[in-house]
Copies of this chain bind each other. A is one copy, B any other.
Amino acid sequence: MKPVAHGGDMRESQRRFPDAPRPWIDLSTGINGVPYPVTALPAEAWSRLPTHRDEQALLAAAAARYRVRDAGAIVAAPGTQALIQLLPRLLPKSRVAVLGPTYEEHEVCWRRQGHGVTVVSTLEEAEGADVVVIVNPDNPTGRLFSVKALRAISARLLVVDEAFIDLLPAQESLAGDMPPNSIVLRSFGKTYGLAGMRLGFAIAEPGLIDRIHNELGPWAVSGPALEIGRMALGDGQWLTATTARLAVDGQRLDAILTAAGCKIVGGTALFRLAHHFDAQAMIARLGQHAIHVRGFEREPQWIRFGVPANPHEFNRLTKAFNL
């Protein structure tokens, strides 16, 4: 199987544009460029095996943040990707409908475990599937289904990947009041800007959560991730400030991209999806200015832009466009 292309690895751009000035700016991901501050960790977070108590403290903070009522309905993993890998192993061979185009790992992981996968573009086309997978809001388009629309889906299992929902109003998430046939995935690293830390969550009925917990095994999440995750998820003030900053910076990005001739066709608080008639030339131009963005093989007129992290990055982008 051909490996899935992701944002975040600048090597290829750097090889393609060896003469671009250093340092490069990475706008290819939807990872917050202003991370939650990592303070000095207690030595024990590194040295000893995480305890049940450490794990419970993280899960309590996550449950409060995500409005999960039942402590037995949430489990932590070393990144949402670990859950995307695992879930297809827990179900008998099924007909799986993935709402697309979207984050490609869902399709790849269900297929790898022998399920029959169709990528569909509407909820209607997903009807009759045993498993329906929806990234909500979608990456990269930002398409958002309402909780009401999600609750109307009658599949045996509904997988809702809410990797980019943190910065939307809480009522947009299915996690607070889940139908019994559903599982919600929540990511830590994108909103909190700590993607290297590896932390994600699954929320579902306790029976399924137990099975996931057993498959992950003991000590699945690192001590530092348990500690930082607990602090960050409990910090409502930081999230409020981040939401406000990204609202302002996102509008600034929109203005720049529009002035550069792009049409904003989608996005979330952490990234924008831009359409440009000659997106490939635009990607090359940005590369010559040492700015790495995300193109899409299947949609050659699309570019995904992460929100710049600071005035310096905004200036670099403005200059690259000659605005």
Kindly state whether residue A209 has any CB partner on chain B within 8 Å: no
- A169 surroundings in chain B (CB, below 8 A): none
Q: How many copies does the complex hold?
A: 2
- Among the listed B4, B9, B47, B78, which residue makes an inter-chain contact with A193, where contact means beta carbons less than 8 Å apart? B47
Cβ contact of A84, chosen from B196, B198, B217, cutoff 8 A: B217
Question: A219 near B: Cβ within 8 Å?
Answer: yes
A31 proximal to B (CB < 8 A): yes
In the complex with contacts A35-B47, A222-B225, A224-B224, A81-B196 CB distance below 8 A = no
A105 close to chain B: CB less than 8 A: yes
Q: Is A320 an interface residue (CB 8 A)?
A: no
Contact A78 B222, CB 8 Å, known A49-B8, A84-B217, A85-B215: yes
Most buried by B among A79, A81, A193, A198: A198
The answer to whether A8 touches B51, judged by C-beta atoms less than 8 angstroms apart, is: yes
Report the minimal beta-carbon distance from A307 to chain B, rounded to whole angstroms.
14
Report the interface size for chain A: residues with CB under 8 A from the other chain.
Answer: 52
Are the CB atoms of A49 and B195 closer together than 8 Å?
yes
| Sampled A-B contacts (20; CB under 8 Å) | A4-B218, A6-B218, A9-B49, A9-B53, A26-B48, A31-B48, A31-B49, A35-B47, A45-B196, A46-B196, A48-B195, A48-B196, A50-B196, A78-B78, A79-B220, A82-B220, A85-B215, A195-B219, A196-B224, A198-B220
Residues of A within 8 A of B (CB): 1, 3-4, 6, 8-9, 11, 26, 29, 31, 35, 38, 43-53, 78-79, 81-82, 84-85, 89, 105, 109, 112, 189, 193-198, 214-225
